[in-house]
């Protein structure tokens, strides 16, 4: 089994694909291999790309990849779809994306869909990043579909998060709801040939003025027309400037400590719960569930009983 880890470190693409399958389907088995790889990680720049459906994320990721390849970087792409338990959509997305970069050994693409919980997906994504990092990719692009907490969870694993918007039609309230701005390091207005571009730029700029950011990096707002490849170099420049900003004054190390802290707590949470439930007498949980359903006790009281045992 350790051969697989050694093959990943030696640059074997098939070994990477097999290990990623293990990460998704057999996380416990994958764990020992990930531990072997762990000392070889920490070199890649992890870039999250997120935005609502229809904003053109896949196209942007494709174009960013082409630009990164022009600049001589190797690229790993993880396309995460937290809105779908079907991997079908993601696979279809892959095929389309791959047309431009297929056959380039400097690009490695992998889709991941939700199999279980969001937590499970976030964990599998973090582990997949580690595999591609150990594989030696310079840049890892993590593309997530949807708007909401899923992105926020997954964005924790990224050093730099690119958030896409498109010019909207009416409805000023919706843009105020984009709390996802909080996680943006670079803002991209894609489809910038559509009417409304200036209005979205003004709204984003106002929100940046209003929002209390925890640091002094102001996300640049960049216009792109990704289908035509326009504005892409500016996106890559901004992403590189953000990495330089993070490296300056130990911010990257600070961010890494926070990420590791959160990851340990999250793993601890799952581990403790699994152990405690496994240690309960046969039928004890079912019996508590029944008493709660009959409204004899409330759910908090049920938890107290489990912990008392």
Q: Coil, strand, or helix at residue 65?
A: helix
Helix 2-9 / helix 13-25 crossing angle, nearest 10 deg: 130
114 contributes a contact to its own copies by CB under 8 A: yes
DSSP of 74-86, one letter per residue?
A: -EEEEEEETT-S-
The tokens describing 132, both together, are 């591609």
Give the C-alpha separation, 170 to 199, whole Å: 10
1 contributes a contact to its own copies by CB under 8 A: no
To the nearest whole angstrom, how small is the minimum distance from the Cβ of residue 71 to its own copies?
27
What H or E segment, with its residue span, contains residue 50? Answer: strand 45-51
Stretch near its own copies under the rule CB under 8 A, chosen from 60-68, 83-91, 159-167, 231-239 = 83-91
278 contributes a contact to its own copies by CB under 8 A: no
196 contributes a contact to its own copies by CB under 8 A: no
271 contributes a contact to its own copies by CB under 8 A: yes
To the nearest whole angstrom, how small is the minimum distance from the Cβ of residue 174 to its own copies?
4
11 contributes a contact to its own copies by CB under 8 A: no
182 contributes a contact to its own copies by CB under 8 A: yes
Give 243's Cβ-side CA count (13 Å radius): 15
Residue nearer to its own copies on the CB measure, 216 or 300:
300
Cβ neighbours of residue 249 closer than 8 Å, sequence gap 6 or more: none
- Footprint of its own copies on 224-253 (CB under 8 A): 253
DSSP of 208-225, one letter per residue?
A: HHHS--SSSPPPPEEE-B
26 contributes a contact to its own copies by CB under 8 A: no
Among 6, 10, 17, 92, binds its own copies (CB under 8 A): 92
Residue nearer to its own copies on the CB measure, 55 or 236:
55
Contact pattern for its own copies over residues 36 through 55, marking x by CB under 8 A: --xx-xx---------xxx-
Stretch near its own copies under the rule CB under 8 A, chosen from 10-18, 99-107, 233-241, 281-289 = 281-289
53 alpha carbon, distance to own chain's centre: 15
Helix 118-134 / helix 2-9 crossing angle, nearest 10 deg: 60
Among 21, 84, 215, 228, binds its own copies (CB under 8 A): 84
Residue nearer to its own copies on the CB measure, 71 or 272:
272
> Radius of gyration over alpha carbons of the chain, in Å?
21
Among 1, 176, 202, 206, binds its own copies (CB under 8 A): 176
């Amino acid at each position: 089994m350790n051969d697989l880890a050694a093959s990943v470190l030696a640059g074997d693409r098939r070994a990477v694909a097999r290990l990623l399958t293990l990460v998704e389907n057999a996380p416990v088995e994958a764990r020992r291999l990930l531990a072997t790889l762990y000392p070889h990680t920490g070199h890649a720049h992890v870039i999250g790309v997120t935005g609502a459906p229809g904003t053109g994320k896949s196209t942007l990721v494709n174009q960013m990849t082409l630009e990164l390849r022009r600049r001589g970087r190797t690229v790993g792409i993880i396309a995460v779809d937290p809105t779908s338990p079907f991997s079908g959509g993601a696979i279809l997305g892959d095929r389309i994306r791959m047309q431009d970069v297929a056959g380039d050994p400097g690009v490695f693409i992998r889709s991941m869909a939700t199999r279980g919980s969001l937590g499970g997906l976030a964990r599998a994504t973090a582990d997949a990043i580690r595999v591609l990092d150990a594989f030696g990719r310079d840049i890892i692009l993590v593309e997530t579909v949807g708007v909401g907490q899923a992105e926020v969870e997954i964005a924790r694993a990224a050093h730099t998060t690119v958030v896409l918007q498109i010019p909207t039609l009416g409805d000023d309230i919706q843009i105020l709801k984009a709390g996802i701005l909080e996680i943006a390091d670079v803002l991209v207005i894609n489809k910038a040939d559509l009417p409304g571009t200036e209005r979205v730029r003004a709204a984003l700029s106002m929100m940046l003025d209003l929002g209390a950011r925890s640091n002094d990096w102001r996300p640049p707002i960049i216009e792109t027309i990704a289908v035509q490849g326009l504005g892409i170099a500016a996106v890559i420049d901004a992403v590189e400037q953000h990495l330089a900003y993070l490296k300056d004054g130990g911010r990257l190390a600070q961010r890494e400590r926070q990420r590791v802290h959160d990851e340990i707590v999250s793993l601890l949470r799952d581990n403790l719960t699994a152990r405690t439930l496994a240690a309960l007498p046969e039928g004890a949980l079912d019996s508590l569930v029944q008493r709660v359903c009959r409204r004899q006790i409330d759910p908090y009281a049920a938890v107290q009983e489990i912990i008392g045992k």
